[in-house]
Chains A and B, each alone.
Chain A
Amino acid sequence: MKRFYWLLAAVLLGGLAWIWIGSKSRGTGTEWVAETKVPESKADSQFTGYVMGSDTAPVEVVEYADFECPICAAWGSVQFPVIKQQLIATGKVRWRLRDFPLPPTTHLWSRLSAHAVACASEQGKAWEMIDALFAHHRMWSQRPENPEKLFRGWAQDLVGLDMATYDACMASGRYRGRIQYSREEGEARPVRGTPTFFVNGREWTLRDVSSDAFQHVVDSILAPRRRR
């Protein structure tokens, strides 16, 4: 019986020691939070965003978005599926999504989420990763905990990425320059907040954030063409 209590004590002490060691190891993620200047390459400036839709679509919408921005997430989850169905799938609109990470003072994980999407795009699944980020937005956005593991879980379980490639991509941070370039390019247009839309090059001021409003804008552009 005495041996049994010694065994219990050993298990208890071993377990508590293991938990104590676990409490000391903290995820960093600081490289993603800092708004540091990242050297940009020529390839960074050649990337013009994630594109959905036909090359011959008469209307191009460029959206500057931050994946941690709540309005971008609401837009992406509620309105964008309708736009995709009614305007993009019908060949009227080509959508181009560009990164515009907001400052880490309010959006800690903007650059990390943008990088996760960039790594998914290597495997042709950027839009699927964006959907996953927006669908679970409240689980990770504007929270202090580093969501890198969450993103990895969704990349694996929901998006179906090859995880060795994804992990290597995230560890390399190779798209940080590209994300920074996109931000600077947006600032030059100028983009003041997210989401900001440019419809055939002209900024579309958001008063009514809805797919219906977009439908009207696109129709108003296409109407003169139909008359010809």
Chain B
Amino acid sequence: MRHRQAIALLALVGLLVSLYLWLHAIGVIAELKCGTGSCEVVQSSSYARVAGVPVAFFGVVGYLVLFVTALVGLQPSFLPKRSLSVLLAALATGGLLFTGYLTYLEAFVIHAWCRWCLGSAGIVAVIWVVAVAGWRADLPVSPPSPRTGP
């Protein structure tokens, strides 16, 4: 249960970060509060959109799916179901791969860092660790092998 609670909380924070970046991408928020980073460079690059859709929107959808799945998994009827842990681990792995690709673009193609994107990458990485830990914790315990005497 603790794993799913942690995933829900982290996914909610990630959802807010993605929402912030998405609202900036569609012009609702004029200026990103970026401090010393290069958010505008990253957000205005050609890699900030996939087929015309801001990358941040995929983040909103991904975090929302993780958040809802984790909340469903916390309902009493779903708590003992191992399939929810498997689904969360699978979703987190997909998110981790996508975020890894975006971080690679920042480092080696765009040559600029956006602290919100890095924050989101950190959140996804922690979600993945928690989700995999939850999945492993739910693995059925195999009975001890019978002792064979000499």
- Which A residues lie at the B interface, using CB under 8 A? 1, 4, 7-8, 11-12, 15-16, 18-19, 22-23, 25-27, 139-140, 145-147, 149-150, 152-154, 156-158
Q: Looking at the assembled complex, report how far the CB atom of A4 sits from the nearest CB atom of chain B, in whole angstroms.
A: 5
Is B38 touching A153 in the complex (CB atoms < 8 A)? yes
Structural contact, B13 and A15, CB atoms closer than 8 A: yes
A11-B12, A140-B44 known; A22-B29 Cβ under 8 A:
yes
By beta carbon, the residue of chain B nearest A14 is B16
Is A8's CB under 8 angstroms from B16's CB? no
What residues on A are CB-neighbors of B27 within 8 Å? 145
Complex Cα distance, B45 from A42, in Å, reads: 41
Chain B residues within CB distance 8 Å of chain A: 5, 8-9, 12-13, 16, 19-20, 23, 27-34, 38-41, 44-45, 74, 111-112
Q: How far is the CA of A72 from the CA of B53 in the complex (A)?
A: 30
What's the least CB distance linking B3 to chain A, in Å? 13
A-B interface pairs (CB < 8 A), number: 66
How distant is the Cα of A157 from the Cα of B5 in the complex, in angstroms? Answer: 40
For the complex, what is the distance from the CA of A8 to the CA of B74, rounded to whole Å? 13
B8 touches A8 (CB 8 A): yes
Q: How far is the CB of A107 from chain B (nearest CB, A)?
A: 18
Q: A19-B19, A19-B20, A149-B34 are in contact. List 19 more A-B contacts (CB 8 A).
A: A4-B5, A8-B8, A11-B13, A12-B12, A15-B19, A18-B16, A22-B20, A22-B31, A25-B30, A140-B44, A145-B27, A146-B30, A149-B40, A150-B40, A153-B38, A153-B112, A156-B38, A157-B41, A157-B111
